[in-house]
Amino acid sequence: MAFRSAISLTFFSLVLLLLAIGSKAGGIAIYWGQNGNEGTLKETCATGNYEYVILSFLATFGNGQTPMINLAGHCDPYSNGCTGLSSDIKSCQAKGIKVLLSLGGASGSYSLTSTADAKSVATYLWNNFLGGQSSSRPLGAAVLDGIDFDIEGGTNQHWGELAGFLSAYSKKGKKVYISAAPQCPFPDAWIGNALKTGVFDYVWVQFYNNPPCQYTPGNIGNLKDAWKAWTSDIPANKIFLGLPASPEAAGSGFIPVADLKSKVLPVIKGSSKYGGVMLWSMYYDDQSGYSSSIKNYV
Q: Are 244 and 280 in contact (CB under 8 A)?
A: yes
Q: Are 163 and 116 in contact (CB under 8 A)?
A: no
Residue 277 CA to residue 227 CA, distance in Å, equals: 13
Q: Is residue 63 within a helix (H) or strand (E), and if so which, with residue range?
A: none
The sign of the CA dihedral 66, 109, 182, 260 is positive
Q: Are 21 and 267 in contact (CB under 8 A)?
A: no
Q: Are 157 and 112 in contact (CB under 8 A)?
A: yes
Query: Has 152 been annotated as catalytic?
Result: yes
Non-local CB neighbours of 130 within 8 Å, separated by 6+ positions: 143, 144, 146, 147, 166, 169, 174, 176
Q: Of 38, 51, 152, 161, which one is the catalytic site residue? A: 152
What's the chain's length in residues?
298
How far is it between the farthest Cα atoms of the chain? 78
Neighbours of 204 (CB within 10 A): 28
Residue 139 CA to residue 89 CA, distance in Å, equals: 9
Q: Are 44 and 22 in contact (CB under 8 A)?
A: no
User: Which residues are known catalytic residues?
Assistant: 152
